[in-house]
Every structure is written in C-alpha cells, then in structure tokens.
Structure 1
Amino acid sequence: MRRLRKRTDGSGVEAGNWLTTYSDLVTNLLCLFVLLFSFATVDRAKFEQFARSMQSSYLEMSKGEIYTKNNGQSLVSLIADYNAVGGQDSVTSNASVGEDMTLEEFKINVDKAISDLGLDEYISVIEETTEVTLRFNSLILFDSGKADIKSSGEEVLKKLGDFLAKLDNEILIQGHTDSLPINTPQFPSNWELSTKRATNVVKFLIANCGVDPAKVTPTGNAEFRPVAPNDTEANRQKNRRIDIVIIK
C-alpha cells in the first residue's frame, strides 16, 4: 500500500496547522467579547480605545498577513450600531462605575442621585455658559455658625463627590454666607467662616472621594455674592450655601 504523505513547509511542521489553531483562538476570543458586550453597557469612546489597543497588540505580535487584514473595523462598528438603536441611554449607568465621566454624564447622574436622596429642595444643578454649579444649601452640610461638616452631610457629599472624582475639569469650591455678621474667636468675620467651610469640603472630597487635589480650589466669598436679597430669613438661608463650580 502506498502511504499518503502530508504536506509540510520543509521544516517538518505541517503547513497550515498553526493557522487553523490561531483562527480557532481568534474566533473564541471574538465570541467571548461579544458575550461580554451583551451583558454590559459600554461607553463608546472607551470601547473604541480598547479595540484600537487590542488591534495594536496583535499587530506587534506578528507581521503575518492575517493580522494586517483584520483591522478591528467590525468590532468598532458593533458599538456604532448599538448606539444607533438606543444603546446610548445606557451610558448613564455605565459612567457611574467607569474611570472617567463627561460633564453631561455628570449632570445626569447627579440629578438622579439628588432625586433618589430626596434632596431636590436643598441641592440643585445649575448650568451656565462656562460652568456647571452644584449648589448645596448650608443646612445639608453645616450647623449654624459652624464649619465642621455634619455626619449626615458627609454621607451626601460622599455620594456626589464620587461623581466629581471622575471629572477631568477644574473645580472651585465656593463658600458663601448671608449678610448677618459673625464675631467669634474662631471666625472673626464671614470671610473666615466661608473660607473654612469651603476648605473643609475640599479636604473631605480629596480624602474620601479621590478628587485630584491639583484640580480643586477652595474660595471664601463671605456675604458678597448673594443669590437672593438678605431681607428675610428664607432668603438669607438661600445665601448660606456651598457652590461646587465645575469649569467647562
């Protein structure tokens, strides 16, 4: 009987066997990523960056033709198709666990958190041309005439501060008071009180929320930037506040 000979590439290794094995591996990896994608919401920018990173890694591993022909286009297109049919709404939930967050995602997540906490009357998000302000009524954070953050205020600040830590924007923490004078050994005037409150908020955000100290600055404004006339107690309470100003 004549034995059949298997073709080799001259080195004793069966030609094409490595390619078959590699193709199976790539197919399995693709299935894995598609499966993971089906269970998760995906930030498009992050996923595209990941896809490009994977592509670059494979290109560095080999100069084979199969790598250069597979440029990852279909993987990125999958994300585009997903967002086109409504997946964009899922960005909000994903942003809360991702490393970075856009300012638009920040507003959506913070608005929801404030509503969930039942604090719509005391905390508001105000958008202007060059900045977004997260405004805290001082009742949430401080006792009257004090600058130490209340324990209940720390819980609220922690929840919202976690979102601040995901921003790449410059952040100003502004302390404000009403026009009633204060004169204590610790706070000779409203300047000291407003500045100390802002500073304590900054220190808390850095220590407990991971906010980058290079991106956050405390300022005290005393009574000189009111949002309402200081003619009633209700209006004066509006002026006693902490403004977290995020520069666009």
Structure 2
Amino acid sequence: MSKRRRKKRGEKHGVNESWLLPYSDLMTLLLALFIVLFSTSMMDAEKFQQMSQVFNGIFLGGTGQIDYQNPVENDDHSKDNPNAGETSEQENENQEEEPILDLEEQKELEEIQAKINSYIKENKFNNRFATSLTGEGLLLTIRDNVLFESGKAEVREEDEITARELAKFLEMDPPRNIIISGHTDNVPIQNAHFSSNWELSVMRAINFMKILLEDKNLDPRWFSAKGFGEYQPVGDNSTAAGRAQNRRVEVLILPRVKSEEK
C-alpha cells in the first residue's frame, strides 16, 4: 500500500511542459523582429513601411504604426557620398513640383514661340532676347539693356516700339494669363528714385506692362506684374556676364487651362 501511495504522489509532482509552446512562439516572433530591424539598414523606405504594417498587425493588432525616420544608406554608398540621400530627396521634390503641359497646350505655345523666335531672328535680337518652353508655360526673357537705362525704370522712348511689337504676339483668343516680372543683379542701388533693387525691378515690370497694354486688343484683367529684385538670379553675380544675365524682364505666358481656372 505504501508503495502505491508514494507512486501516486510522485505522479502529482510531474513537470508540466505546456508553457513551452507559447514561449517558443514568442521567441520566434522576437527573432523575426530583430532580423527585420537589422535588415532595415539595407532596405528602402517603401519596403520598410510595408514590413512595419505587417508587424503592427502582429504586435499591436493593427492599431499603431512603427515610427519611421530614415533608413541608413548602404555603407559603401554613404561613405562615398554622404549627401546622396539628401540630393535624391531634392531631385524627387523638383520632379514632383515641375508641372507638365498637355499636348494641346504645348502645341499652341510652341506656335507662339516660333513666331516670337522669328521676330527675334529678323531683328537680330538673339543676344538680347530668349524664349523657353517649360511646364509653367512659355517664357520670354528680355535683357534690361534692351529697354532701360542703367538704374532707371522707364522704357527708353526709342525702345517703346519693341515693346509694342511684342504686344502683338500676346493677342490670343481666348486670352491667357500673362505675368511680367522684373529682375536685377545684386549690386546695391540707392538713388533719388529707388532705395533698393526690389523697387527697381517692380517698377520696370509695371512700366513695361503699361506699354504692352497700350494695345487695345489686350485685356488688362489677364496681366499682372511682379518684382523679384536680385533674389532669382540665372547667372553668377560675381562676374560681369552673369550680372548682365540677371538684369532682365521676363514675360511668362501661362497655359490656358490655368487661365480658365483662375
């Protein structure tokens, strides 16, 4: 009898191993998490976000989100170019911000550009006028010495005819929004008329626009003027040639789609 009782008591003190199953599952998940965290050093942002969503569902029931800052670049690439990630982000932003013309708009603006280019060639204005077609529209650039005396905002009387001839190219049916902008170099100006390059650039744009609007076929409601002073240079202000490029008036012909929306 005593042996049987001792045997039964021994059976009661046996080890229960049922806890091993959830423990092994937990360890497997933790191991997977460490592997994912380690691999993010060589994983792009998109894949990381996808993986984070999967583990959010596992650990948080889909109610939270892993905070993602910026995965570490490949070691070799980072050493060669520590600013590579920053440059790539800037390029992506520029690509996103750059608008794209639809085919119909591009064709119409190209026709206008061809007429202006023909006028430039006939009058030998190649070194003083330039046109370019961008996502924003058709841009006509005019060097300041074509229209103005140095440090002055009034269009020279002998050059008013040039402004009036350009106005003919802006006659469109239906009309488009047109922005006239003035730009200067970074050489400080302070005379009896202007205390800053900003003021000079604004008044040059306005005075040029006034002459354009002497054309009765142009509706002033579609025109606006801006002055950027020295703050949007296209050339190097440390050189005479660069400063000459920066002193300019620009005429931007916007796509008709934008005009109608406004």
The alignment's TM-score, normalised by the length of structure 1, stands at 0.57
The 1:137–1:209 alpha-carbon spacing in structure 2 relative to 1, beyond 3 Å, is farther
CA distance in 1, matches of 2:133, 2:240: 26
Q: Residue in 1 aligned with 2:246?
A: 239
- Unaligned 5+ runs, structure 2: 1-106, 256-262
Equivalent of 1:132 in 132, 138, 153 = 138
Question: Cα deviations across residues 77-111 of structure 1 (Å, max 9, x unaligned)?
Answer: xxxxxxxxxxxxxxxxxxxxxxxx94232111111
8 Å contact from structure 2 (residues 181, 226) kept in 1: yes
8 Å contact from structure 1 (residues 141, 154) kept in 2: yes
Shift of 1:143: 0.5
Q: Are positions 1:193 and 2:196 aligned together?
A: no
Q: Residue in 1 aligned with 2:224?
A: 217
Shift of 1:120: 0.9
- Unaligned 5+ runs, structure 1: 1-100
Q: Residue in 2 aligned with 1:78?
A: none
CA RMSD of aligned residues (A): 1.6
CA distance in 1, matches of 2:241, 2:131: 20
Q: Secondary structure at the match of 2:210?
A: helix
Q: Secondary structure at the match of 1:179?
A: coil
CA distance in 1, matches of 2:178, 2:205: 12
Shift of 1:151: 2.3
Aligned residues: 148
* Structure showing greater Rg: 2
Equivalent of 1:120 in 122, 126, 135 = 126
Letter of the structure 1 residue corresponding to residue 161 of structure 2: E
Shift of 1:209: 5.9
Question: Cα deviations across residues 107-160 of structure 1 (Å, max 9, x unaligned)?
Answer: 111110110011011001111112110000001010000111012321211111
Q: Residue in 2 aligned with 1:148?
A: 154
Q: Residue in 1 aligned with 2:167?
A: 161
Question: Cα deviations across residues 48-73 of structure 1 (Å, max 9, x unaligned)?
Answer: xxxxxxxxxxxxxxxxxxxxxxxxxx
Q: Secondary structure at the match of 1:210?
A: coil
Q: Percent identity?
A: 33
1:10-89 paired onto structure 2 within 5 Å: none
